[in-house]
Structure 1
Amino acid sequence: MTDIQRPDELVSNDGRVRLYGQQFHTDPASLYLAIRQHFGPVAPVLLDGDLPAWLVTGYREMHQVTTDNVLFARDTRRWNQWANVPSDWPLLPYVMHNPSVMFTELGEHQRRAGAIGDALSAVDQFELRARCEKIADRLIDGFAGTGEADLIAQFANQIPLLAVAKMYGLSEAETPQLVRDVAMSLDVGPEALPAYMRVQEAMGRLVAAKRSAPGNDVPSTLIQHKAGLSTEEIVQDLLVVTAAAQQPTANWIGNTIRLMLTDSRFAMTLTGGRGSVGQALNEVLWHDTPTQNFIGRFATRDTQLGGQRIRTGDMLVLGLAAANADPHVRPDLAAGSLGNHAHMSFGNGEHGCPYPAPEVAEIIARTTVEVLLDRLPDLALAVPEEALVWQRSMWMRGLESLPVTFTPTYAVGTSSVAW
């Protein structure tokens, strides 16, 4: 049995795993494997500031936690550690309660999530696909003539919100600032809170405008929905959808491109190999999922899970990447994972991504990756694979940059011609 290294900075004196540090940025898959082998499917961990929690790494246990909403509830005010949380705790944005759909429970959650699902269902997916093709073409036009690009900064990070802005009925003029502010709000720097407030103000202005002049868009559908949502509820839920759409989808796009440029199984089909894009997208969700861990659930009474004794108010961190790697369910890498969608990458149960959010995200990701490979068929990494740097986060899994080279082209309508 592979054991976690002892003694080192990873394990505390009381035997809990410190869920932070360099090891989570370099090789998280091996670390999750070691945690599962040492502790089993539920591991005692310490979050930043050494606050205790449980990391769920087993697929079966993850399914149990995410489907039993009575025993493992979502409202973060249930947490038994609030008295020990400092005002500058870096994870406060993940656990601080607000009136969004994220922290509602039972009937109230069904009301709010149902409205979001209905609003996303009203999105014309054919129109969305066409819009994503135009977005990808325009972004590629910006660097196609140079023969080189950073596909994270110049492509993947820009696409999701450009697509969402259209779904929200935002004007072209408003979109660039929103893209910048959302990116900053998801960071951990000093600009995060001011940027978040600007995004909230933008959503407030948007809802006010749609109340006066409704259109065929997500905010208007929420305003008119039978759930009778208040302005505050709509603003908060639009913020949730915006954040959920941006970084996870951007990482999904970037991780998929990286896989297709570095895995020999995709090399022979890269040129004109559209059929392999779907396989690559699904494989990333299994093996390099954009959201690695998620806070979380909170026990409503004393119970047992995975051989561990869980106390009332204990926090459970959903180890999505670790559960996907559970050997009891993980698909055979050699055989591929196309068609196997039983991963936990979009969550599970009532608090998973509401349908059809995963479908909308896949349209955005798949369409833009296909356009990229069609436009730049000889795309290649500009650096060795081992030189790629992952973001310093144990919550998200994405690259800092993805430098590539290709034959320079110039745009002709929506097509390109080699120089």
Structure 2
Amino acid sequence: MFGPGFISGDRGQLYRDMREKHGPIAPVTLIGDVPAWLVLGYRELHQITGNPALFTRDSSVWNMWDRIPHDWPLMPMVGRQPSILYEVGDRHERRSALVGDALRGVDPFELRTHSEQHADELIDGFCSRGEADLIDEYAMKLPALVLARIFGFTDDDGSALVPSINAVVDGAEGALEGRQHLQRAMGTLLRSRAIAPAGDVATRMQTHPNSAEFSSEEILEDMMVNIVSGHQPTADWISNSLRLMLTDDRFAASLAGGRASVGEAMNEVLWEETPTQNIAGRWATRDAQLGGRRIQAGDLLVLSFAAANADPQIRPDQHSFTGGNSAFFSFGHGSHRCPYPAQEIAEGIARTGIEVLLDRLPDVDLAVGEGELVWRPSPFLRGLESLPVTFTPTSAVGRSR
């Protein structure tokens, strides 16, 4: 999964070729020639995510642990951690209720207000130049700033967290330091809210009826998981939607004034270029038959949301416009899917961010040819390295908008 097909090739064609050769379940290798199964089929992915007893999120059952070095690069994706991502059973259900209820308390009006304010401030930073990179200067900052605000951080503290959050997401140099900074900041916030509660996610996490069951470390980890995993897909959702609106003729006519097209573009992206492409994963708790394959107990299954979304059995016409169809796998499925409140928060931030940008810069256009845009080299996520644009220079509006 780290070969040129996944990293720099036509990934859609790669999925089609794999499906034709192997069917809905394909054998793949991860770093170090570690074997796994890639689930390409929509029905098969639905079956796996809907049966946690047979396909668990608990990686301790993996039959490859004796081959995995402690410094394996993918360890953060499979190594069991004290967060909700690796919880199973009834305890996961109660922990999920805690997180979901804390996020559900976010007021939609306040969310939009925060999103508009931060979007305006970021655009103020480059609007007078007539050019910008909408990845580095906008999409990779806006979600982190808004999430920090609703979690309980001040704007100044939220701004200071953005580089750390992006460092953790990149997983490269500075990732460990970024995680440590984020962990310290989260700990400080939780301790302050224990003394002086407020109307934010941090307070609701600690005062929830289920909170007594979980340690302070677990609550802190869940805070970190939600702010990091909420930031990157939302950032890519913004930039992938803007790319589509700037390059696809179906949206070009309404780009400069039609807000209805924003929702359509965002929905289309979740089918065609979903930010979360492949995730590791699920582990078989016993031998099973799936998609014509013999899956052995302990086998790792990597879930391909992107391939399932393009499964010809559920989308025979790959060129048809998906419209309002939201049966995509982009937010997962089953007990470990992205919580609905988190999905609504991500959608609110992304849509507001796109609308504000188009309102402020109505003639925004690509500064390079579509073919010059480069996707980040990750088999798991889908996002651009940069999105250079030009527009008519305008003046800043500050917070008076």
Q: What is the CA–CA distance in structure 2 between the aligned matches of 1:374 and 1:104, rounded to whole Å? A: 43
Residue in 2 aligned with 1:10?
none
Q: For 1:117 and 1:172, how far apart are their aligned partners in 2?
A: 24
Q: Residue in 1 aligned with 2:349?
A: 364
What do residues 13-64 of structure 1 show as CA deviations (whole Å, max 9, x unaligned)? xxxxxx1122213321111111111100011111111101100000000000
Quick one: percent identity of the two aligned structures? 53
Cα displacement string for residues 166-201 of structure 1 (whole angstroms, at most 9, x for unaligned residues):
111101221122110111112232321222122122
1:90: how far off? Answer: 1.0
Aligned to 1:176: 159
SS of 2:330 mapped into structure 1:
coil
Matching residue within 198, 203, 209 for 1:226: 209
Query: 2:197 corresponds to which residue?
Result: 214
Structure 1 residues 331, 168: CA separation in 2 closer, same or farther (over 3 Å shift)? farther
Tell me, yes or no, if the aligned pair for 1:248 and 1:291 is still in contact at 8 Å.
yes
Mapped contact 2:133–2:389 kept (Cα < 8 A): yes
Mapped partners of 2:89, 2:323: distance in 1: 34
1:23 corresponds to which letter in structure 2? G
**How does the TM-score come out when normalised to structure 2?**
0.97
Question: Which position in structure 2 is the counterpart of 1:15?
Answer: none
Does the aligned pair in 2 maintain the 1:388–1:401 contact within 8 Å?
A: yes
Quick one: distance in 2 between partners of 1:88 and 1:230?
A: 27
The aligned amino acid for 1:247 is Q
Which of 315, 329, 336 pairs up with 2:300? Answer: 315
Matched, 1:125 2:108: yes
Give the partner amino acid of 1:377: P
Cα distance per residue 1:224-250 (max 9 Å; x no partner): 101023211110100110111111110
1:282 paired to 2:267: yes
What's the CA shift for 1:413? 5.1
**Aligned pair 1:29/2:12, yes or no?**
yes
**1:265-290 Cα deviation digits (max 9, x unpaired):** 11110111110000000000000000
Match of 2:132 among 122, 140, 149: 149
Contact 2:61–2:283 (Cα < 8 Å) also in 1: yes
SS in 2 for 1:70: coil
Which of residues 74, 85, 90 is equivalent to 1:107?
90
Q: 2: CA distance between counterparts of 1:262 and 1:25? A: 22
Aligned positions of 1:176-215 closer than 5 A: 176-215=159-198
Corresponding residue for 2:44?
61
Q: Who is 2:395 aligned against? A: 410
- Which residue in 1 is equivalent to 2:368? 383
> What amino acid is aligned across from residue 168 of structure 2 in structure 1?
S
1:298 aligns to what?
283
Tell me the CA shift for residue 327 of structure 1.
Answer: 1.1
CA RMSD across the alignment = 1.3
Letter in structure 1 aligned against 2:329: M
Deviation at 1:128, TM superposition (A): 0.3
Q: 3-state SS of the aligned residue for 2:257?
A: coil
Amino acid at match of 1:342: A
Q: Please give the alpha-carbon distance, in whole angstroms, between the structure 1 residues aligned to 2:139 and 2:318.
A: 25
Equivalent-residue separation in structure 1 for 2:228 and 2:396 (angstroms): 32
- Residue 38 (1) aligns with residue 14 (2): no
The residue type paired with residue 270 of structure 2 is L
Where 2:106 maps in the other structure, the secondary structure is coil
Runs ≥4 residues deviating over 4 A: 331-335, 413-416
Please say if 1:20 is aligned against 2:5: no
Gapped runs of 5+ residues in structure 1? 1-18
Structure 2 segments unaligned to the other structure (5+ residues): none
- CA drift of 1:356 comes to 1.4
How many residues align? The count is 398
Letter paired with 1:196: R
The equivalent of 1:258 in structure 2 is 243
Q: 2:110 & 2:250 partners in 1: Cα distance?
A: 32
1:90–1:188 contact (8 Å) kept in structure 2: no
Q: 1:325 to 1:72 in 2, by over 3 A?
A: same
CA offsets per residue over residues 123-162 of structure 1, 9 Å max, x none? Answer: 0011101110111111111100000000000000001110
1:401 aligned onto 2:386: yes
2:331 paired residue number? 346
The structure showing larger relative contact order (alpha-carbon pairs under 8 Å, at least 6 residues apart) is 2
Work out the CA distance in 1 between the residues paired with 2:323 and 2:194.
43
CA distance in 2, matches of 1:294, 1:337: 24
In the other structure, the counterpart of 2:312 is: 327
